Protein backbone atom coordinates (compact mmCIF):
# COMPACT_ATOMS: atom_id res chain seq x y z
CA UNK A 1 0.00 0.00 0.00
CA UNK A 2 1.41 3.30 -1.05
CA UNK A 3 1.36 6.39 1.09
CA UNK A 4 2.00 9.34 -1.19
CA UNK A 5 4.15 11.78 0.65
CA UNK A 6 5.17 9.27 3.28
CA UNK A 7 8.84 9.69 4.04
CA UNK A 8 8.96 12.48 1.51
CA UNK A 9 9.82 16.10 1.79
CA UNK A 10 8.51 17.96 4.76
CA UNK A 11 9.93 21.22 3.49
CA UNK A 12 6.51 22.62 2.76
CA UNK A 13 5.56 22.56 6.37
CA UNK A 14 4.85 26.13 7.31
CA UNK A 15 4.15 25.66 10.95
CA UNK A 16 0.49 26.26 10.31
CA UNK A 17 -1.39 23.14 11.16
CA UNK A 18 -4.82 22.55 9.71
CA UNK A 19 -7.52 22.73 12.30
CA UNK A 20 -5.66 24.99 14.63
CA UNK A 21 -6.90 28.31 13.50
CA UNK A 22 -10.34 28.13 14.95
CA UNK A 23 -11.35 29.84 18.11
CA UNK A 24 -12.39 27.98 21.20
CA UNK A 25 -14.97 30.59 22.05
CA UNK A 26 -15.83 34.09 21.13
CA UNK A 27 -13.82 36.60 23.10
CA UNK A 28 -16.01 38.18 25.71
CA UNK A 29 -17.11 41.73 25.00
CA UNK A 30 -14.64 44.20 26.36
CA UNK A 31 -11.98 41.59 27.05
CA UNK A 32 -10.96 40.59 23.55
CA UNK A 33 -8.71 42.43 21.16
CA UNK A 34 -10.12 44.60 18.40
CA UNK A 35 -11.37 42.81 15.34
CA UNK A 36 -10.31 43.62 11.82
CA UNK A 37 -12.93 43.48 9.04
CA UNK A 38 -11.72 39.98 8.21
CA UNK A 39 -12.59 38.81 11.67
CA UNK A 40 -9.01 38.32 12.69
CA UNK A 41 -8.04 39.80 16.02
CA UNK A 42 -5.31 42.36 16.15
CA UNK A 43 -2.31 41.15 18.08
CA UNK A 44 0.30 43.74 18.60
CA UNK A 45 3.19 43.65 20.99
CA UNK A 46 2.89 47.39 21.29
CA UNK A 47 -0.53 46.95 22.86
CA UNK A 48 -0.51 49.03 25.97
CA UNK A 49 -0.60 46.67 28.90
CA UNK A 50 -0.24 49.28 31.55
CA UNK A 51 -3.35 49.65 33.63
CA UNK A 52 -4.80 46.37 32.43
CA UNK A 53 -5.91 44.50 35.57
CA UNK A 54 -4.89 41.22 33.98
CA UNK A 55 -1.30 42.34 33.38
CA UNK A 56 -0.05 41.85 36.93
CA UNK A 57 -1.52 38.38 37.06
CA UNK A 58 -0.05 37.53 33.67
CA UNK A 59 3.46 38.64 34.57
CA UNK A 60 3.32 36.64 37.80
CA UNK A 61 2.29 33.50 35.92
CA UNK A 62 4.64 34.02 32.97
CA UNK A 63 7.84 34.56 34.93
CA UNK A 64 11.12 35.72 33.44
CA UNK A 65 10.50 35.00 29.75
CA UNK A 66 7.25 36.97 29.71
CA UNK A 67 5.26 34.13 28.16
CA UNK A 68 3.13 31.37 29.61
CA UNK A 69 4.04 27.80 28.68
CA UNK A 70 1.98 24.66 29.25
CA UNK A 71 3.46 23.94 32.69
CA UNK A 72 2.89 27.50 33.88
CA UNK A 73 -0.63 27.42 32.54
CA UNK A 74 -1.25 24.13 34.30
CA UNK A 75 -0.01 25.57 37.60
CA UNK A 76 -2.12 28.67 37.32
CA UNK A 77 -5.28 26.79 36.34
CA UNK A 78 -4.75 24.25 39.09
CA UNK A 79 -4.35 27.03 41.64
CA UNK A 80 -7.39 28.87 40.28
CA UNK A 81 -9.54 25.85 41.16
CA UNK A 82 -11.33 26.19 37.81
CA UNK A 83 -11.51 22.41 37.56
CA UNK A 84 -13.64 22.28 40.68
CA UNK A 85 -11.55 19.58 42.33
CA UNK A 86 -8.26 19.53 44.18
CA UNK A 87 -6.25 17.85 41.48
CA UNK A 88 -3.92 19.20 38.83
CA UNK A 89 -5.50 20.65 35.69
CA UNK A 90 -4.57 18.33 32.82
CA UNK A 91 -1.25 19.24 31.18
CA UNK A 92 -2.50 17.73 27.95
CA UNK A 93 -5.47 20.10 27.90
CA UNK A 94 -3.10 23.02 28.50
CA UNK A 95 -1.05 21.93 25.49
CA UNK A 96 -4.17 21.63 23.34
CA UNK A 97 -5.37 25.10 24.31
CA UNK A 98 -1.98 26.68 23.69
CA UNK A 99 -1.72 24.98 20.29
CA UNK A 100 -5.11 26.39 19.42
CA UNK A 101 -4.56 30.00 20.48
CA UNK A 102 -0.85 30.44 19.85
CA UNK A 103 -1.22 32.94 17.02
CA UNK A 104 2.44 33.78 16.61
CA UNK A 105 3.66 30.16 16.95
CA UNK A 106 6.01 30.70 19.85
CA UNK A 107 4.58 27.63 21.56
CA UNK A 108 3.66 29.85 24.53
CA UNK A 109 1.05 32.41 25.43
CA UNK A 110 1.90 36.09 25.17
CA UNK A 111 -0.27 38.56 27.04
CA UNK A 112 -3.00 38.96 24.39
CA UNK A 113 -3.06 35.26 23.67
CA UNK A 114 -3.35 34.60 27.38
CA UNK A 115 -6.25 37.01 27.69
CA UNK A 116 -8.05 35.32 24.82
CA UNK A 117 -7.44 31.95 26.39
CA UNK A 118 -8.78 33.19 29.70
CA UNK A 119 -11.96 34.53 28.06
CA UNK A 120 -12.44 31.28 26.16
CA UNK A 121 -11.93 29.24 29.32
CA UNK A 122 -14.58 31.25 31.14
CA UNK A 123 -16.98 30.70 28.26
CA UNK A 124 -16.29 26.97 28.38
CA UNK A 125 -16.80 26.95 32.13
CA UNK A 126 -20.24 28.54 31.75
CA UNK A 127 -21.01 25.99 29.09
CA UNK A 128 -19.86 23.16 31.33
CA UNK A 129 -22.00 24.34 34.23
CA UNK A 130 -25.05 24.55 31.96
CA UNK A 131 -24.51 21.03 30.65
CA UNK A 132 -24.04 19.54 34.11
CA UNK A 133 -27.77 19.40 34.70
CA UNK A 134 -27.65 17.35 37.90
CA UNK A 135 -24.90 19.60 39.27
CA UNK A 136 -22.65 16.67 40.03
CA UNK A 137 -19.61 18.79 39.10
CA UNK A 138 -18.91 16.50 36.17
CA UNK A 139 -20.50 15.72 32.82
CA UNK A 140 -21.87 12.22 32.41
CA UNK A 141 -22.70 10.17 29.33
CA UNK A 142 -26.28 11.37 28.88
CA UNK A 143 -25.31 14.99 29.57
CA UNK A 144 -22.54 14.86 26.97
CA UNK A 145 -24.93 13.21 24.53
CA UNK A 146 -27.34 16.13 24.80
CA UNK A 147 -24.57 18.72 24.71
CA UNK A 148 -22.94 17.27 21.60
CA UNK A 149 -26.28 17.06 19.82
CA UNK A 150 -27.04 20.66 20.81
CA UNK A 151 -23.71 21.73 19.33
CA UNK A 152 -24.85 20.23 16.03
CA UNK A 153 -22.70 17.11 15.89
CA UNK A 154 -24.26 13.87 14.72
CA UNK A 155 -22.43 10.97 16.33
CA UNK A 156 -23.38 7.33 16.54
CA UNK A 157 -23.99 5.85 20.02
CA UNK A 158 -20.81 3.79 19.58
CA UNK A 159 -18.73 6.88 18.86
CA UNK A 160 -20.19 8.73 21.81
CA UNK A 161 -19.43 5.77 24.08
CA UNK A 162 -15.85 5.68 22.78
CA UNK A 163 -15.45 9.42 23.49
CA UNK A 164 -16.84 9.09 27.01
CA UNK A 165 -14.48 6.18 27.70
CA UNK A 166 -11.53 8.22 26.48
CA UNK A 167 -12.28 11.44 28.39
CA UNK A 168 -13.96 10.27 31.59
CA UNK A 169 -12.79 8.95 34.91
CA UNK A 170 -15.25 6.28 36.07
CA UNK A 171 -17.85 7.66 33.71
CA UNK A 172 -17.41 11.26 34.91
CA UNK A 173 -15.90 13.91 32.65
CA UNK A 174 -14.14 16.67 34.57
CA UNK A 175 -13.83 20.21 33.28
CA UNK A 176 -10.30 19.95 31.89
CA UNK A 177 -11.08 16.74 30.01
CA UNK A 178 -14.32 18.26 28.77
CA UNK A 179 -12.42 21.20 27.29
CA UNK A 180 -9.92 18.86 25.63
CA UNK A 181 -12.76 16.75 24.28
CA UNK A 182 -14.71 19.69 22.81
CA UNK A 183 -11.65 21.40 21.36
CA UNK A 184 -10.50 18.21 19.70
CA UNK A 185 -13.94 17.34 18.38
CA UNK A 186 -14.23 20.75 16.82
CA UNK A 187 -10.70 20.84 15.43
CA UNK A 188 -10.98 17.39 13.86
CA UNK A 189 -14.42 18.18 12.45
CA UNK A 190 -13.12 21.43 10.93
CA UNK A 191 -10.13 19.58 9.52
CA UNK A 192 -12.40 16.97 7.94
CA UNK A 193 -15.00 19.41 6.69
CA UNK A 194 -12.45 21.54 4.87
CA UNK A 195 -11.56 18.49 2.78
CA UNK A 196 -15.10 17.24 2.35
CA UNK A 197 -15.74 19.44 -0.66
CA UNK A 198 -19.03 17.77 -1.58
CA UNK A 199 -20.20 17.75 2.05
CA UNK A 200 -20.96 14.04 1.84
CA UNK A 201 -19.17 12.94 4.98
CA UNK A 202 -16.55 11.10 2.96
CA UNK A 203 -12.97 12.25 2.39
CA UNK A 204 -9.87 10.78 0.79
CA UNK A 205 -6.81 11.66 2.84
CA UNK A 206 -3.20 11.76 1.86
CA UNK A 207 -1.35 9.96 4.66
CA UNK A 208 0.86 12.89 5.63
CA UNK A 209 -2.12 15.28 5.59
CA UNK A 210 -4.00 12.95 7.92
CA UNK A 211 -1.08 12.81 10.33
CA UNK A 212 -0.66 16.59 10.34
CA UNK A 213 -4.31 17.08 11.09
CA UNK A 214 -4.61 14.50 13.83
CA UNK A 215 -1.21 14.42 15.52
CA UNK A 216 -0.97 18.18 15.87
CA UNK A 217 -4.23 18.66 17.69
CA1 LIG B 1 2.57 32.78 21.45
CA1 LIG C 1 -23.47 15.80 35.87
- If you measure from the C-alpha of residue 181 to the centroid of ligand 1, how many angstroms do you get, rounded to a whole number? 22
Among the bound ligands, name the one nearest to the CA of residue 116: 1
Please count the CA atoms within 13 angstroms of the CA of 30 that sit on its side-chain side. 3
The low-confidence residues of the chain, meaning pLDDT below 70, are 1-48, 50
pLDDT at position 48:
61
Contact residues for 112 (Cβ-Cβ < 8 A; gap 6+): 33, 41, 43, 44, 47
Residue 69: closest CA among 26, 98, 46: 98
Q: How far is the CA of 127 from the centre of ligand 1 (A)?
A: 26
Q: How far apart are the CA of 85 and the centre of ligand 1, in A? A: 28
Distances from the Cα of 104 to the Cαs of 22, 107, 189, 195, in angstroms?
14, 8, 23, 25
Task: Compute the distance from residue 79 Cα to the ligand 1 centre, in Å.
Answer: 22
pTM of the complete model: 0.70
Quote the ligand 2 centre to 145 CA distance (angstroms): 12
Closest by CA position to 65, among listed 114, 15, 119: 114
**pLDDT score of 51:** 78
- Name the H helices within the chain: 53-62, 70-80, 91-101, 111-131, 141-150, 157-167, 175-195, 207-215
pLDDT at residue 42 in the model: 42
Q: How far is the CA of 144 from the centre of ligand 2 (A)?
A: 9
pLDDT for position 178? 94
Q: Which residues partner with 109 through β-bridges?
A: 68
Amino acid sequence: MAYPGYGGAFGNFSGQMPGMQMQMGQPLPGTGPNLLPGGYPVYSDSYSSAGDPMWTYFTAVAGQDGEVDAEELQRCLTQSGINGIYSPFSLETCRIMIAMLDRDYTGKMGFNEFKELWAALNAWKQHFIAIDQDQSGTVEHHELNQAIAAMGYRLSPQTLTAIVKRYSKNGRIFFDDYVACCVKLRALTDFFRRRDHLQQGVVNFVYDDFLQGTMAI
